[in-house]
Structure 1
Amino acid sequence: MAGLSTPKQKISALIITYNEMGYIEKCIDSVSFADEIIVVDSYSTDGTFEYLKKHPKVNVIQNPFENFTAQKSFTLKQASNDWILFLDADEVVSEALQKEIVDTVNNPNACEAYWFYRKFMFQDSTLNFSGWQTDKNHRLFRKSKAHFTDRKIVHETLEVDGASCILKEKLTHYCYKNYEDYKGKMLRYGQLKAKEDFYKEKHFNYILMVVKPTWKFFNHYVLRLGILDGKKGVTICYLNALGVLERYRELKRLEKKNELAYYLVMP
């Protein structure tokens, strides 16, 4: 009697978006091999939602954005399949990585989750250093074996019940479209990190507001060789440090707002 063949594992590709025109088109094309593509949009105003609505392979849902962890957890619940490929809208899966993903999920000895190293793109050229050369993220995992921890609201963290492995092929990350776009992104991240700190009852500190951004720039530009990326390295390292500075500015604003509210309700 011939042995039964193992059924092909299905993959759900998940993405969250907000004003991602110029990024999302490449991302969607690169995950067209998935069995379903679900995008949760935070009420984009630049045509992203309209583009996705018309796309024949995409199921797009709109949901208000609270924070990255909440949005990704909501998106994960929409998936029909156990194997999840969760991308950011500015990430692209190469043909070689597509093949590795399909082969991996159909391997009976597959791990429960996989880290992806990323190749960073500054517009259309590679960013080789500037602190990103060892960056890796969970992007492929079993829904039944993983969830996003609610202890972080930005740079969301996946908790895995089981083993995590690393794929060989890199994910391409188009991190930098233009100066204002990247600056806005870093400021938003900084503000969310401040909220995270505030909820954890961490307090504003003037010394940290000076030291932390300075260290961020020095670490990424000098120690992690951003200087070898030329002008691109200066720009990226400066804006990353600006995001750290914004974190402390926002924490200070939140504390002042909280103090004002306290005095207003005092009898």
Structure 2
Amino acid sequence: MGITACLITKNEEEALARSLEMISAYVDEIVIVDGQSEDNTAGVAEKFGAVLIQRKFSGSFAIERNCGIEQARNEWVFILDPDETLEPGLLESLRGLTSSPKYDAYSFLRHDVLPDGTVLETPCGHPEIHVRLAKRDRLRYYGAIHEKAIVTGRIKFVPKAIYHHRGYFEDYPQEKKERFEAIGRNASEDLQGLKISSRALLVRNVKLVFHYFGNMLIGMGLYRKGPSGIIRAIQYTYSFASYGLKQYVRLGQI
């Protein structure tokens, strides 16, 4: 099964070079949606034979993600950011995952990494899980900011990690925080990437909570710890649900 790596960039030449060096041998195509970078991002993309789509930022990260997915020529897409690295073995597992007829998408752990190398396993009070590998026609993104994967089909959790090297110690730097808040504040319904009713979002999110609990209890193996593991899975799931709801409300997405 062919795999297309999909990235979005803006002035990412150094990080992009590391990222493409890491993934190029494991995918069949690379598609980069670039927000008209002013550095050598385009040159790096050309060096690795990537399909480069340069366009003015739409005002929505979901729209940019969806643009890359729609341009992919392969059946499967692998979503990555330039400032992310992967746990050893994750890339080698991609072919085997796409060969299974049982699932339409796969989710992975995602950890923040501080500039000093400290790995934050639960930066939001719970492990983060992101869908990153999916059939092209089954995955789209919703949300102008902090975009969320919407999958039509069956998702399997794989407890391998993606590491986000965030480049700062505390919360977002003030400039980045203000820019992200402005995107969320100014996003109209057309900028959310998909047209989804509040009811459909609610149903999706309720299902996602149960799915997350299963991922923690079974996928992460917390059941092996007995009652303490079950309690931990419940705590993580509560944190996941409350954090997600606050985000939706704050960004006006529900």
Q: TM-score, normalized by length of structure 2?
A: 0.67
Distance 1:57 1:117, change over 3 A: same
Shift of 1:13: 0.3
Deviation string, structure 1 residues 216-266 (Cα, Å, up to 9, x no partner): xxxxxxxxxxxxxxxxxxxxxxxxxxxx9xx89xx9xxxxxxxxxxxxxxx
1:103 maps to 96
Aligned mates of 1:10, 1:31 — CA distance in 2: 14
Q: In structure 1, what residue type is equivalent to 2:127?
A: T
Structure-2 change in CA distance of 1:80 and 1:39 (3 Å): same
TM-superposed CA distance for 1:74, in Å, is 1.2
Deviations for 1:95-140, whole angstroms, at most 9, x for unmatched residues? 311122222112233x111222112211250232442651121111
Aligned-residue offset at 1:17:
0.3
Structure 2: distance between partners of 1:173 and 1:50: 24
Task: Give the Å deviation of 1:181.
Answer: 8.3
The aligned amino acid for 2:162 is: L
**Judging changes above 3 Å, is the alpha-carbon distance between structure 1 residues 156 and 79 closer, same or farther for their aligned structure 2 residues?**
same
2: CA distance between counterparts of 1:112 and 1:193?
A: 30
Q: How does 1:113-262 map to 2 (within 5 A)?
A: 113-128=105-120, 129-131=122-124, 133-149=126-142, 152-176=143-167, 182-196=173-187
Which runs of no fewer than 5 residues in structure 1 stay unpaired? 1-8, 201-243, 252-267
Select the residue among 77, 82, 89 that pairs with 2:75: 82
- Give secondary structure in 2 for the equivalent of 1:169: strand
Q: C-alpha displacement at 1:183, in angstroms?
A: 4.0
Q: Distance in 1 between matches of 2:40 and 2:169?
A: 18
- Contact map agreement 2:16 2:44 (CA 8 A) in 1: no
Q: Which residue of 1 aligns with 2:104?
A: 112
Separation in 1, partners of 2:173, 2:44: 22
Give distance in 2, aligned partners of 1:155 and 1:30: 25
1:122 and 1:13 map into 2 onto residues whose CA distance is 25
Letter in 2 for 1:30: M
Aligned to 2:11: 19
Deviations 1:163-198 (A, max 9, x none): 112112101111126889844333322111112389
User: Normalising by structure 1, what TM-score?
Assistant: 0.64
Q: What residue number does 1:254 align with?
A: none
CA–CA distance in structure 2, aligned partners of residues 180 and 88 of structure 1: 19
Q: Counterpart amino acid of 1:10? A: G
Distance 2:170 2:43 in 1: 25
Tell me how far 1:82 sits from its aligned partner: 1.4
Structure-2 separation of matches of 1:133 and 1:148: 22
1:60 match: secondary structure: strand
- Separation (CA, whole Å) in 2 of partners of 1:154 and 1:139: 17
Partners of 1:13 and 1:36 within 8 A in 2: yes
Counterpart of 1:153, as a letter, is A
Unaligned runs of 5+ in 2: 192-246
Q: Greater Rg, structure 1 or structure 2?
A: 1
Q: Secondary structure at the match of 2:176?
A: helix
Aligned equivalents of 2:162, 2:41: Cα separation in 1: 22
Q: Residues 167 and 22 from structure 1, CA distance in 2 versus in 1: closer, same or farther, beyond 3 angstroms?
A: same
